[in-house]
Amino acid sequence: METWETPNWEQLAPGGWWRVVHHPAVYAMIRPIEPLLPNNSGYNYSNMVKLCAESGRDCFTISQIHIVGEVLAMTAESSWDEEESCYWLRLRDEGNFGQQWLRQDGESLGLGVFLEASCFYPETPPALPPGIPGHDVREAHRKALSEVRCVRSAFNQLRDGEATGEAWREVPRLSIADAMLGQCAESRPAEAQRVVGGPAIAHLLREGYVAVHDALNEDLASEFVVQMAKLDNGWNLHAAPQATPGQRGDRLLWIDENIAVGRYGSEAVAKAIGLLKGLASELNPDLTAHHWSKNAAGDAAHAVLTVSPKAQLACYPGDGARYICHQDNRFRPSHGTRLNSRELTAILYGNPADWDAHRDGGALKLYPQTEDFESPPLPDHPSVCFSPKAGTLVIFFSSLWHEVLPAYRPRRALTMWILRPEEEESWMPTVF
Ligand SMILES: O=C(O)CCC(=O)C(=O)O
Ligand SMILES: [Fe+2]
């Protein structure tokens, strides 16, 4: 069994979903990005930066912090960067907003160790030859790892409020298999088939969207409304990272079935997430055939829909908050690729049955056949609107322009992006 302490440097780890098994996993990237320290994680980002600085490692740049339990997606792909003389590993974060690139050299540790932690290595890293990483790189990894240990123990003390002076705790051995979660969507065929089987899929492929109004049965739908509100009212949601007043006014929580039940006791939310996840496998055969017919010469046969491990629970607080017209993904003709791997956006609404879109606002306004528009369609462009009532499921191609109209009553929704990872833009070392 391979452990993070004795990774096999010659071998890239298998692609798939990985869980961060130690905290904090800190890694640095060549261009620092906005730190994404999950709310209520118990860590204070500025304290961590201070700790790094105090540890005498001036060149430490924390760009991203991940904590235990968080899930990341790692592709099996690496890319040689001529200019930087290094390899990059491609990964995605839990919400799959976009991709990130992890530098694989003495500066940012490679896979396996990445699951533990990685950081900037204070010396100039040895250049990697194209091909198998050599001895120097392993040595750099070894040194950097020992540094990580010191930093981590300080972090642990900080978190636990301990001032014991104990510099170092034994790190348990971890198996890479422990952290690997699996590659494909979990399948819940029966429910998903009931909801989107037959005519619904046909409508989705023909029109680019479909709405199913009884995706949850009546009892489940009303329980879903109650639990979504309870979760939201418990201050578990936080402003979206890209929140901009007047443009995007929702607050969010990324949540999976285990968190829904284990942390919040929300069975109905867990069931809803399960249903959304099951859609990927249900839609897969028809979507694959659809891409085949559009692109006879292409690789569409490899299309494998998958889902992110977590769904996005969003609430627009009801003060007129909205989400201006946008696309969740976009084809970039100049690159010949898509911006991210989102193929379909699937949303289950969790608002009371008496929601009145004229009075309460908050409709989802979707503009069919706009995937190739470079800028938002005009408001009077042909569109369809959906009232965000309990149990309504809307699925649409993520590249269609859409918006959330101002909501005058708290408006809650659970969104799952259904992904086609092979469609993602293949090389872009910047992030998000
Ligand atoms: O909640 C909705 O109806 C759509 C939200 C949305 O467009 C998004 O989160 O990207
Ligand atoms: Fe969207």
In a domain, 235, yes or no: yes
Q: Is residue 300 part of a domain?
A: yes
315 CA to centre of ligand 1 in angstroms: 10
What is the rounded average pLDDT of the residues 254-265? 85
| Number of neighbours of residue 203 by Cβ within 10 angstroms | 16
CB 42 within 8 A of CB 101: no
Most ligand 1 atoms within 8 A of CB, residue of 411, 415, 417 to mutate: 415
Distances (CA, A) of 120 to 8, 142, 192, 432: 21, 13, 45, 21
Q: How far is the CA of 403 from the centre of ligand 1 (A)?
A: 7
- Are 177 and 199 members of one domain? no
What confidence tier does 26 reach under pLDDT thresholds 50, 70, 90? Answer: very low
Residues 232 and 343 both lie in one domain? yes
Domain count, the chain: 2
Q: Find out whether the peptide bond into 133 is cis, omega within 30 degrees of 0.
A: no
User: Average pLDDT, whole number, for the chain?
Assistant: 66
Residue-range definition of the domain harbouring residue 308: 189-423
Same domain, 132 and 265: no
Q: Are residues 210 and 315 in the same domain?
A: yes
Q: At what angle do helices 267-294 and 218-233 cross, to 10 degrees?
A: 110
CA 362 – ligand 1 centroid, Å = 10
**Which listed ligand is nearest to 415 at the C-alpha?**
1
Contact yes or no for 332/338 (Cβ under 8 A): yes
Whose alpha carbon is nearest atom 10 of ligand 1? 328
Please tell me the number of the ligand nearest to residue 364's CA: 1
Q: In this structure, is residue 369 part of a structural domain?
A: yes
Cβ atoms of residues 92 and 98 within 8 Å: yes
User: Which ligand is closest to the CA of 322, given by its number?
Assistant: 1
pLDDT in tens, 323-362: 999 999 888 777 666 777 788 999 999 999 999 999 999 9
Task: Give first-to-last CA distance, the chain, whole Å.
Answer: 34
SS (H, E, C) 352-382: CCCCCHHHHECCEEEECCCCCCCCCCCCCCC
- Residue 325 CB–ligand 1 contact under 6 Å: no
- Report whether pLDDT(30) > 70: no
Q: Are residues 29 and 121 in the same domain?
A: yes
